[in-house]
Amino acid sequence: MISTVILMVVFALTICAGIPIAAGLGISAMAALLYDGLPLFMMVQRMMTQINTFTVMAILFFMLSGEIMCKGKMTDNLVAWAESVVGWMKGGLAIAGGLAACFFSALSGSSAATCASIGSIMIDKMKERGYPTKFSGSVIASAGITGIVIPPSVTFVVYGTVTGTSVKKLFASGALPGILLSASICAVSWYYSKKNNYGEVSKFDVKNFLKMTKDGLSVLMMPVIILGGIYSGLCTPNEAAVIACVYAYIITKFVDKALPWKVMREALVKSVRDTAVVVFVMQTAAGFSWVLTNAGVPAALGRFCATVGDNKYIFLLGLNIVFLLAGMLITGSAAVSILAPIFLPVAITYGIDPIHLGCIMIVNLAIGYITPPVGVNLYLAAGVAKASIEDLVKENMPFLLVTLVVLVIVNLVPGLSLWIPNLIK
């Protein structure tokens, strides 16, 4: 019990001191081990065991494929195609941003990458077409959260790694919730654009649509190649990630002619750096979670839930509150690495499928990307839009509320996240 208190107090102190989350997790876990008189090499063992799986490789390659795509015209072509599809609607450009983010999510696996890539193109376009700056930033910040929900998702890979759950089925579980999130954000964009007379309406042009489809065919085919390969059984998620990198490299290098060695080196360095951060968080979080498990925290959590009542909905309510708060403070990968091993055994006792549980966790953490005080997407969009974070937080409230409604649906309708995975052998 005392070691658990030491663990949490030291971790809180490291956060307050501004120490990186990964280092804070490791320091607090070692402090608890030292108090218990356990050798520190046990921490090293947990760290190495955590990443001793081929699944971790998918994180690097999905991040690299996203970096490569941002260096060429693939993102521009995707945005142009999305605009040709919905530009005829009121608020069409805002809706196009949501649609483009939905597609880009199926390529990058990262919410921050989706927000930054789509935002760098769409926000200036929206401002030029008469959309208010804070509205433009809010649309893109919210649309970007689908990056960790729609497959392939790096955070789903992390969840699958720390819980031993099928990554293929986890990817499938995020498809319908991700699409529902995207559709709800587009619906809010349309409503407020119509209400406040934002933007211009252009007539649907079949010739332009066909031209944009032809120009964007290479990027539109990428999700088909990646996800089709995984779900057809032709390749594993790892192999699909490598295929995504090779495909993105070929298109960017030889079709767009936009990938000189200097740029490619930058993409390699950034993807390796970002992957190292995720993997280090996973490692130190493994030690952190092990200390909690060794102290009987999951068992205590189970007993507490039993005293509250044998009701899985009460448990889900508590779980959602915990993950919403976690998403507000730490990264999705860190939250999953720390909390998933603790909540999973309890969830199973309530008959909650691990796949459904993973989807609930990831949707919660996706919402964290637009929730202060961390709200990564809010800061990214505010930087691109040159708007204050306070304005974006206020303007973003309708989008935040509708994502919470989607979260409730995901909790109460397991079939939304389990229907497609159950079709996979």
Give the residue with greater pLDDT, 359 vs 67: 359
pLDDT band at residue 308 using 50, 70 and 90 as cut-offs: low
CB-based burial label for 28 (10 Å; 0-12, 13-18, 19+): buried
pLDDT 10s digits, 112-127: 777 777 877 788 888 8
Quick one: pLDDT at residue 175?
A: 92
Quick one: pLDDT at residue 420?
A: 92
Give the residue with greater pLDDT, 55 vs 178: 178
Q: What is the pTM of this model?
A: 0.86
Quick one: pLDDT at residue 302?
A: 67
pLDDT band at residue 226 using 50, 70 and 90 as cut-offs: confident
Give the residue with greater pLDDT, 294 vs 396: 396
In a domain, 41, yes or no: no
In a domain, 303, yes or no: yes
In a domain, 157, yes or no: yes
In a domain, 140, yes or no: yes
pLDDT band at residue 400 using 50, 70 and 90 as cut-offs: very high
Q: What is the mean pLDDT of the chain?
A: 84
The residue segments making up the domain with residue 391 are: 54-284+296-423
- What is the secondary structure of 209-267 as a DSSP string? HHHHHHHTHHHHHHHHHHHHHHHTTSS-HHHHHHHHHHHHHHIIIIIS----HHHHHHH
In a domain, 289, yes or no: no
- What is the total count of domains within the chain? 1
In a domain, 369, yes or no: yes
Closest CA relative to residue 55, chosen from 162, 187, 146: 162
- Average confidence (pLDDT) over 260-285: 85
Quick one: pLDDT at residue 375?
A: 79
pLDDT at 415 exceeding the cut of 90: yes
pLDDT at 111 exceeding the cut of 80: no
In a domain, 1, yes or no: no
Distance CA 338, CA 224 (A): 33
Q: Give me the percent of the chain exceeding a pLDDT of 70.
A: 96
In a domain, 6, yes or no: no
